[in-house]
């Protein structure tokens, strides 16, 4: 299956299916590639753009990061 075929199939999913896919696959897909510092620098502005478009500001992001960081320490 080509990248274009995969993208077409993904864009055809319902919103619920897209959410489930992201939650199920993002951690696995990013585990290896995030080790590459160059990739991290490429993906960082994309992630910030997604957050900005959602209406979240940097202060909210920092508060969420602190909250989730505390949860991981407890596990």
- State the pLDDT at residue 48: 84
Give the three-state DSSP class for 60. helix
Token pair listed for 4: 């274009």
The predicted-structure confidence for 19-42, as pLDDT tens digits, reads as follows: 999 999 998 988 889 899 999 899
Q: Which of 2, 52, 60 is nearest to 68 (CA)?
A: 60
Q: Which of 2, 22, 18, 19 is nearest to 10 (CA)?
A: 18
The predicted-structure confidence for 48-75, as pLDDT tens digits, reads as follows: 888 889 888 878 888 888 888 766 555 4
Q: Locate the domains of the chain by residue range.
A: 1-33, 37-75
How many CA atoms does the CB half-sphere of 16 hold within 13 Å?
0
């Amino acid at each position: 299956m080509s990248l274009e075929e995969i993208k077409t199939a993904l864009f055809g999913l319902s919103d619920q299916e897209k959410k489930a896919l992201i939650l199920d696959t993002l951690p696995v897909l990013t585990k290896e590639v995030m080790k590459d510092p160059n990739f991290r620098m490429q993906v960082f502005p994309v992630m910030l753009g997604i957050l900005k478009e959602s209406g979240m500001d940097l202060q909210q992001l920092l508060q969420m990061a602190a909250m989730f960081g505390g949860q991981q320490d407890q596990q």
